[in-house]
Amino acid sequence: MPKHTKKRSTIKRKHRQIKEHAEENKAKTLDRKQLAKEYEPYNINKRAFGEN
């Protein structure tokens, strides 16, 4: 009896979704890094540990 496998179209759809999410997350990460740079002087952790 053959083992049940997912159809190729299902796998392609899943991969496409993963890729889209990865691109969205990359964009979010870049935005977050930019914000972190802008707010760096106000960063409490850096002041507390004296990493200036």
* Cα–Cα distance, 49 to 51 (Å, whole number): 6
Does 38 or 48 have the greater pLDDT score?
A: 38
Residue 52: pLDDT over 50: no
Domain count, the chain: 1
Is 1 inside any structural domain? no
Query: Residue 8 is encoded by which pair of tokens?
Result: 């190729």
Residue 19, pLDDT score = 92
DSSP secondary-structure letter at 50? T
Is 2 inside any structural domain? no
Residue 13, pLDDT score = 92
Residue 15, pLDDT score = 93
Is 29 inside any structural domain? yes
pLDDT digits (tens, 9 = 90+) for 16-44: 999 999 988 888 888 888 888 877 777 77
Domain of residue 35, residue span: 8-49
Residues in the chain: 52
> Euclidean distance between the first and final Cα of the chain, in Å?
67
Residue 17, pLDDT score = 93
